[in-house]
Amino acid sequence: MAQQSFSGVLRQEPLTEHDTGYVVGIDIGGTNLRVALSDSSGAIIARQSASTAGIRDPQLVVDMIRRSIDKLLQEKGLSRKSLLAVAAGAPGITDVNAGVVIATSYLMGWRDIPLQAMLESALGVPAAIENDVNLAALGESCAGIGQGAKDFVFIAVGTGIGAGIILNGTPLRGMGWTVGEIGYMLVPGAPEEPAGPGEPGALESLAGGEGIRNQWLRAWNPEKTRLPKDLTATQIFDHAAQENGDPLARAILQRSAQLLAYAIYNLSLVLSCPLFVLGGSVGLHPALSPAVQTILRRREQSAHCQVSCSTLGADAQLYGAIRMALDTAIAMQGRNVAK
Amino acid sequence: MAQQSFSGVLRQEPLTEHDTGYVVGIDIGGTNLRVALSDSSGAIIARQSASTAGIRDPQLVVDMIRRSIDKLLQEKGLSRKSLLAVAAGAPGITDVNAGVVIATSYLMGWRDIPLQAMLESALGVPAAIENDVNLAALGESCAGIGQGAKDFVFIAVGTGIGAGIILNGTPLRGMGWTVGEIGYMLVPGAPEEPAGPGEPGALESLAGGEGIRNQWLRAWNPEKTRLPKDLTATQIFDHAAQENGDPLARAILQRSAQLLAYAIYNLSLVLSCPLFVLGGSVGLHPALSPAVQTILRRREQSAHCQVSCSTLGADAQLYGAIRMALDTAIAMQGRNVAK
């Protein structure tokens, strides 16, 4: 369904000369690399994913990307010449103009990596790079629940928490490429002690995937719950969501939802933005957005926010990357025509 | 000094045809109406202020504005014909495009007031209107400490607290014209109970002028302080700022500064904005911005913020209004030329 609505949305400008061309969207995660081949309408026609566990060297990641793309093209009987452009999302501070990943927290050791140039050199086509949360926001904006919304915020709740802000249809990037670092936001109930280097921020230390797990571990007591001690955030939410669900799991869902609701409320006050889309492995849990929405309803007088679950799910980044790759191909085409 | 730096800054486009023309900037406050006559370079050449105490009827306020402008023109030996445009700031939610004050909290009874049309009808020249905090941000941006800063946030701390956000040199307005309503922001230490109708927001209930006064009243105890019970926020800060200042006054300055620092930190995370300018009657107190800056320094690792006091002081709104009036005159000139 997402792909259906996507077609035509991405192609705001016709790719007249290269209508037979293809682009690739890439999602470089801390544990997985995902590569999707798309036609010029923005529909994914083939995809591949591979583990990046233990791989830290950016050149090795670029080599993996090149091999994945070659395999996808081969699978579809396409030549390298039909590839027009690629775009990749990386989990970290990304200078979109310079094409450099300035710093990542998950891919340790990535500092000032000229990823755009490395991709262009390896693939021989124009490349673009962007922060993965901004790409997910862009994906939801052009192919997901953000379609038609001029202003909205995508909130990725995974291990950490980050926001991609779309204002007037385009991602807000700001100075230093660090817009939307809401994992550090200070809300009532979050720790006030500043986070040390490499430590999670105030909000994510309680409401991120690891934070939720840590809340559970700290509160766990065989007298309070019959559930095992070793549970992930989504498992805790699964138990909370059941009818007559575990009381401790429910309390932790409630507390996490409240912290997130406070952060969303603050964002809404600052940006006057009515739509918030939850994504990321924890943010996609079906119990979370209704719980957050219920808490926000008490504050409707000062800020009206609609909280929805991402419709593209784990593919939001990939769709955003495809959109960026198509834009790159179109820009390149314009430049070639002008020559 | 402010006027000197202003000249030339406002006139980004030459007012060729109307170089002898003048504009008026208006600041409609809850207690005072201020009107400033400016030449086409943006320098204030005459000004007037009058009390609006007890005056609620918008038509009466517009009549006061008309009389003030006539008096200022007369004072300078200028005819009504030399007036090119006016712009007014009002403390409330203002639809800039429609020219309507949607709601104000201080000027009770102002709901959906077509202020732009009323001014145009009374004065016979084009008028523009804007929220007063956005105008103050615009003023600082073109004539104050925000000159040269693409992105910055002006924070007005008066009775309440609001923010004017400048991104890429222009005010962020957003949907519903309610951007920057940070008086309601939820930070650690602020009350979590939602504010009722007409009640101050979480942040301003402690760190706004009235909130600081209420903190003092609640904490006041003759055993803790030799100061009188009845003090204003700025008087409390005056005592806190003295060498060996009153310990209770110091504690309240510290607490207010901490709440503001948390709000600024949150804004900085969301917007990736490095410069914050404090204005408004309480925000201009010389003890506040250093206290806020000291608290923020502990969090420099995750967000670097510079906090400065407004250089235009109480005139920030007037300079913003003059800039808006000049822009309105220029736009009108363009329209006339096109005819």
Tens digit of each residue's pLDDT (9 = 90 or more) over A72-98: 999 999 999 999 999 999 988 999 999
Tokens of B150: 């693409």
B107 pLDDT band, cuts 50/70/90, is low
Substitution target from B94, B172, B205, B302 for chain A, most A beta carbons within 10 A: B302
B104 pLDDT band, cuts 50/70/90, is confident
How many of the other CB atoms lie within 10 Å of CB of B242? 11
Q: What are the beta bridge partners of residue A131? A: A90
Asked if the domains A2-138+315-338 and A148-310 are classified in one and the same CATH topology, the answer is yes
How does A140-171 read in b/e, with b if 16+ C-beta sit within 10 Å?
bbbbbbbeebbbbbbbbbbbbbbbbbbbeeeb
Q: CA A103, CA A300: separation in Å to the nearest integer?
A: 38
Please answer yes or no on whether B269 and A184 come within 8 Å at the CB atom. yes
Identify the pLDDT of residue A337. Answer: 64
Helix, strand, coil percent content, chain A, rounded in steps of 5: 40, 20, 35
pLDDT tens, residue by residue, A92-116: 899 999 999 999 876 567 899 999 9
Q: CA B82, CA B70: separation in Å to the nearest integer?
A: 11
**Closest B-chain CA to A181:** B269
Q: Shortest Cα distance from A92 to chain B (angstroms)?
A: 13
Q: What is the CA radius of gyration of chain B?
A: 20
Q: Are B52 and B41 in contact (CB under 8 A)?
A: no
Tokens of B304: 């670097």
Burial class (CB in 10 A: 0-12, 13-18, 19+), B66: middle
Of A185, A272, A303, the CB nearest to B266: A185
Q: C-alpha distances in angstroms, B83 versus B25, B33, B258, B337?
A: 11, 19, 46, 18
pLDDT tens, residue by residue, A313-330: 999 999 999 999 999 999
Q: What is the mean pLDDT of residues A277-293?
A: 97
pLDDT tens, residue by residue, A114-138: 999 999 999 999 999 999 999 999 9
Q: CA B250, CA B87: separation in Å to the nearest integer?
A: 40
Q: What is the mean pLDDT of residues A172-199?
A: 91
At residue A53, does pLDDT exceed 50? Answer: yes
Say whether B51 sits in a helix, a strand or coil: strand
Please answer yes or no on whether A181 and B151 come within 8 Å at the CB atom. no
Q: CA B182, CA B201: separation in Å to the nearest integer?
A: 8
pLDDT tens, residue by residue, A224-282: 999 999 999 999 999 999 999 999 999 999 999 999 999 999 999 999 998 999 999 99
At residue B7, does pLDDT exceed 60? Answer: no
Q: CA B182, CA B259: separation in Å to the nearest integer?
A: 11
Q: What are the beta bridge partners of residue B332? A: none
pLDDT tens, residue by residue, B13-32: 444 444 579 999 999 987 89
pTM: 0.92
Identify the pLDDT of residue A8. Answer: 37
- CB-CB neighbors (< 8 A) of B270 in chain A: 163, 165, 179-182, 185, 266-267, 270-271
Substitution target from B168, B186, B276, B306 for chain A, most A beta carbons within 10 A: B186
Please answer yes or no on whether A270 and B272 come within 8 Å at the CB atom. no
- CB-CB neighbors (< 8 A) of B94 in chain A: none
How many of the other CB atoms lie within 10 Å of CB of A67? 14
Please answer yes or no on whether A179 and B272 come within 8 Å at the CB atom. yes
Q: CA A71, CA B143: separation in Å to the nearest integer?
A: 59
At residue A202, does pLDDT exceed 90? Answer: yes
Q: Shortest Cα distance from A235 to chain B (angstroms)?
A: 29
Identify the pLDDT of residue A338. Answer: 61
Nearest to A64 by CA among A51, A79, A77, A47: A51
At residue B2, does pLDDT exceed 60? Answer: no
Q: C-alpha distances in angstroms, B29 versus A108, A154, B34, B125, B157?
A: 53, 37, 8, 22, 14
The number of angstroms, rounded, from the C-alpha of B132 to the middle of its chain's C-alpha atoms is: 5
What are the boundaries of each domain within chain A?
2-138+315-338, 148-310
Sign of the Cα pseudo-torsion (B104, B108, B109, B110, in order): negative
pLDDT tens, residue by residue, B290-310: 999 999 999 988 888 999 999
Q: What is the mean pLDDT of residues A181-202?
A: 93
Check residues A17 and B314 and name the one with the higher pLDDT.
Answer: B314
pLDDT tens, residue by residue, B250-289: 999 999 999 999 999 999 999 999 899 999 999 999 999 9
Identify the pLDDT of residue B332. Answer: 86
Q: Are A153 and A159 in contact (CB under 8 A)?
A: no
pLDDT tens, residue by residue, B114-156: 999 999 999 999 999 999 999 999 999 999 999 989 999 999 9
Tokens of A326: 């198509």
Nearest to A167 by CA among A180, A182, A184: A180
Average pLDDT, chain A: 91
Superfamily in which the B148-310 domain is placed by CATH: ATPase, nucleotide binding domain (3.30.420.40)
Q: Are B248 and B225 in contact (CB under 8 A)?
A: yes
Identify the pLDDT of residue A11. Answer: 45
B338 pLDDT band, cuts 50/70/90, is low
Residues 6+ apart with CB under 8 A from B148: none
**Closest B-chain CA to A178:** B272
Substitution target from B94, B95, B133, B175 for chain A, most A beta carbons within 10 A: B175
Nearest to A303 by CA among A245, A338, A260, A261: A261
Q: CA A93, CA A101: separation in Å to the nearest integer?
A: 6
Q: CA B273, CA A133: separation in Å to the nearest integer?
A: 19
Query: Both ends of chain A: CA-CA distance in Å?
Result: 40
Residues 6+ apart with CB under 8 A from A220: A229, A248
pLDDT tens, residue by residue, B165-218: 999 888 998 888 889 999 999 999 999 999 888 889 999 999 999 999 999 999
Identify the pLDDT of residue A4. Answer: 33
Identify the pLDDT of residue B235. Answer: 98
pLDDT tens, residue by residue, B218-239: 999 999 999 999 999 999 999 9
Q: CA A152, CA A274: separation in Å to the nearest integer?
A: 7
Q: Are B256 and B289 in contact (CB under 8 A)?
A: no
Cite the beta strand spans of chain A per DSSP E: 22-28, 32-39, 44-51, 83-90, 92-95, 100-104, 111-113, 127-131, 152-157, 161-167, 170-171, 275-279, 306-309
Q: CA A162, CA B129: separation in Å to the nearest integer?
A: 36
Half-sphere exposure of B273 (CA within 13 A, CB side): 30
Of A186, A262, A267, the CB nearest to B265: A186
CATH 3.30.470.20 fits B2-138+315-338, yes or no: no
Identify the pLDDT of residue A56. Answer: 86
Say whether B13 sits in a helix, a strand or coil: coil
How many of the other CB atoms lie within 10 Å of CB of B314? 17
Q: CA B289, CA B306: separation in Å to the nearest integer?
A: 9
A339 pLDDT band, cuts 50/70/90, is low
Average pLDDT, chain B: 91
Say whether A205 sits in a helix, a strand or coil: helix
Please answer yes or no on whether A185 and B274 come within 8 Å at the CB atom. no
Say whether B163 sits in a helix, a strand or coil: strand
Identify the pLDDT of residue B4. Answer: 33
Identify the pLDDT of residue A10. Answer: 47
**In chain B, what percentage of residues exceed pLDDT 70?**
93
